[in-house]
Amino acid sequence: MGWLADERGLEKCAANYAPLTPLSHLKRAADVHADRTALVQGATRRSYAELHARVSRLASALAGLGIQPGDVVATILPNIAAQVEAHWGVPASGAILNTINTRLDVDTVAYILDHGGAKLVLCDTAFLKLATEACAKLEGRAPMLVEVCDREAGFSPSGEFPEYEDLLAKGSPWADWVMPEDEWESLALNYTSGTTGRPKGVVYHHRGAYLATFGNAVAWRMQLFPVYLTIVPLFHCNGWCHTWMVPMLGGTVVCCRDITAKAIYAAIADEGVTHFGGAPIVLNSIINAAPEERRPFDHVVEVFTAGAPPPAATLAAIEPLGFNVTQVYGLTEVYGPATECLWKPDWNETQGEERAALKARTGVAMATLEGAEVHDSHGQPIPRDTVHLGEIAMRGNMVMKGYYKNPEATAEAFKGGWFRSGDIAFQHPDGYIKITDRAKDIIISGGENVSSVEVEGAIAHHPAVSLVAVVAKPDERWGEVPCAFVELKRGKQATEEEIIAFARERLAGFKTPKQVIFCDLPKTSTGKIQKFELRAVAKLAVTEPEEAE
C-alpha cells in the first residue's frame, strides 16, 4: 500500500534521507546564526559559534576519557551553562544523557546511578556531597566525577575532582560529532519521580526529541529569535526539550540557577526574555513579588505552565502583569508537554472565571503527537460529554521508547497500542481534555511529583507508628504538599515535629510531610484506608506558611 508500481532507484540514500535528531538544530545554527547569542549565564555570553566549539570540545574530551557510543553520562547540575552544553555534548559523543534531579535523596541517586550504569557524572560543586555519598553506596564500580564549579554563583572548586573547564580544554573545537545512524537510537535516559516504588528509566530517542522541538514551537506560536529563560529544570524531561528547540529558531537560552521572582523579572528586563515554562508556583511567586523585586518591561512574555492547573485567581492576577499563560500537560514518558490548551479566537472576549476555566483545560494533542484521548477501562474512547471519566491515553512519535531494563512495565504501559498515563479526565464535546484526578495518589508539590507510597514507607519505619496514610493537602505556595495521617501503636507516643524530622532524614525535602495529624485512620470493611475522607480533612486543616526548601 502506498508504493508506486516501479520503485527502482527510489531507495533511501545519503542525499535524500537523514535521521532526525535535535543535534541538527545546533549544527545548523552554528553556521546560519554563528554570531548570534546562543547562551547567557550572568555576565557570560556565548555565540552559536562558541557554543558549537565548546560542545565539540566536550564530546571529544568524553571520548578521550573512554566514553563510547551507548555509554551513559549523568549530570547533577542546576540550570547553568554546563547543563545546557551537556545536552548537546553528551549525545554528540554518541553517549546517552542522564540528567538527575538535584533534589533527590542519596538512596534514590545511588539507585539511578546503579540502574542507569553511568560511566561519568558532571556534578555541580553544591551537590558533590550528594554525588559522593550516592557513589559510596554503589556495589559496583563508581562513575568518574567531574566537578562543575559555578564561580559566578560564588563557588570555589573543591580540588578533589577533575574540573569541567579542564576537561573541555583537552577536547577539540573542530571534532566531528557522532550523529545517529538511526533516529531510533537512544538520546536520553530520564528517571520518573518514583510514583510507585523505584523510579523507572524513561528512554528518549532522537526522533521523538526532534519532533517535540517542533511541537513545542508550534504550540507556543514561536517566531525567530526567541529569548528563553530556563525555569523548568533541565533534569525534568530535559527541560521539556526546550533547550534543544531554541537553536532551531536562532534564539537565546538564558540560564537561571536560582528560581526567584527577582531573577525572573531581572532576566525579562535585562535580557528581553520572551518565553519560559514553569509550575503554577512560579506564577504565584511573580504575582506576589515585593515591589523592589519587580522590573518594568514592555512586551508580553509567553508562559507554558504545567504540573497542576493554575487556579483561576492566579490566571486573573498574572495576565495584567504582562504574561500570557498557556496550560500544557505531559509526563516524562512523552518528552514533557504533549497536549496544549490551544486558545481559540472565539474565546478572546471571555473574562473572569469563564476565561480562567478555559485556560485551565488540559487541552488537545500537540501537532506532533499522533493522538491524545480519554479511554475507559476497556481501552475505548469515552463519550465527549464532560460526564464520563477515563484515563488519558496518548500515542505517536512523542511517546518514549520504553522503560529501561523493564520490558514488563513497558508492555503494561503500551497495552492496546496506547501509552496509559494513569491520569483521570473527561473530554469536552470539542475534544479538549480536562484532568479531574491523579491516579495512584500522586502529589505534585511545586512541580515535583511526590509518591504517597514512598512517604508512607519512610514514616512507617518510626517505632511508634502503627499505620500511616499520606495525601495531598492544598497549599497556596506549592500547590500541594504531603500531609500525613498517623495512627500510633498502643502505648506509644510521638509528636508532629518528631515524625517530620524522622521523615526528613529519609526523604528529599519536598517529599517531607508539612503536617502530621494523629488519628484512627478510616478503613473499609476489608481494612483498606479510605483516603478520600483524609483528603477532605487535609483540605480543611490549617498550617503555617513555610520557607522554601
pLDDT in tens, 513-526: 999 999 998 874 44
Q: Would you state the pLDDT for residue 309?
A: 65
pLDDT (average), residues 402-418: 97
pLDDT (average), residues 285-304: 94
Q: Would you state the pLDDT for residue 445?
A: 83
Higher-confidence residue of 9 and 440: namely 9
Query: pLDDT category, 539, cuts 50, 70, 90?
Result: confident
Q: Would you state the pLDDT for residue 547?
A: 43
pLDDT tens digits along 217-256: 999 999 999 999 999 999 999 999 999 999 999 999 999 9
Coil, strand, or helix at residue 80? coil
Q: Would you state the pLDDT for residue 529?
A: 77
509550575: which residue's cell? 279
Residue from 106, 100, 112 nearest 133 by CA: 106
Coil, strand, or helix at residue 487? strand
Residue from 167, 123, 169 nearest 142 by CA: 123
Distance CA 332, CA 539 (A): 28
pLDDT tens digits along 6-16: 999 999 999 99
Q: How many residues does the chain have?
A: 549
Q: Is the pLDDT of residue 544 over 60?
A: no
pLDDT (average), residues 357-384: 94
Q: Would you state the pLDDT for residue 106?
A: 95
Q: Would you state the pLDDT for residue 355?
A: 87
Please state the separation of Cα 267 from the chain's center in Å: 21
Q: Would you state the pLDDT for residue 528?
A: 57
DSSP assignment of 372-386 equals EEEE-TTSPBPPSSS
Query: pLDDT category, 194, cuts 50, 70, 90?
Result: low
Residue from 157, 155, 177, 176 nearest 166 by CA: 157
3-state secondary structure 175-241: CCCCCCCCCCCEEEEEECCCCCCCCCEEEEEHHHHHHHHHHHHHHCCCCCCCEEECCCCCCCHHHHC
Distance CA 160, CA 21 (A): 36
CB 418 within 8 A of CB 395: yes
Distance CA 344, CA 498 (A): 52
Q: Would you state the pLDDT for residue 405?
A: 98
Q: Is the pLDDT of residue 549 over 60?
A: no
Q: Is the pLDDT of residue 170 over 90?
A: yes
pLDDT (average), residues 116-135: 98
- Mean pLDDT taken over the chain: 92
Q: Would you state the pLDDT for residue 498?
A: 95
Helix (H) or strand (E) holding 421: strand 419-427
Query: pLDDT category, 288, cuts 50, 70, 90?
Result: confident
Q: Would you state the pLDDT for residue 546?
A: 45
Domains of the chain: residue spans and CATH: 446-540 (3.30.300.30)
CB 121 within 8 A of CB 145: yes
Q: Is the pLDDT of residue 128 over 80?
A: yes
Q: Is the pLDDT of residue 497 over 80?
A: yes
Q: Is the pLDDT of residue 441 over 80?
A: no
List the single range of 39-43, 96-100, 268-272, 527-531 with lowest mean pLDDT.
527-531
Query: pLDDT category, 548, cuts 50, 70, 90?
Result: very low
Neighbouring-strand partners of residue 139: none
pLDDT (average), residues 173-180: 98
How much of the chain, in percent, has pLDDT values that exceed 90? 75
| Helix, strand counts (H, E) of the chain | 17, 25
Q: Would you state the pLDDT for residue 333?
A: 97
Query: pLDDT category, 439, cuts 50, 70, 90?
Result: low
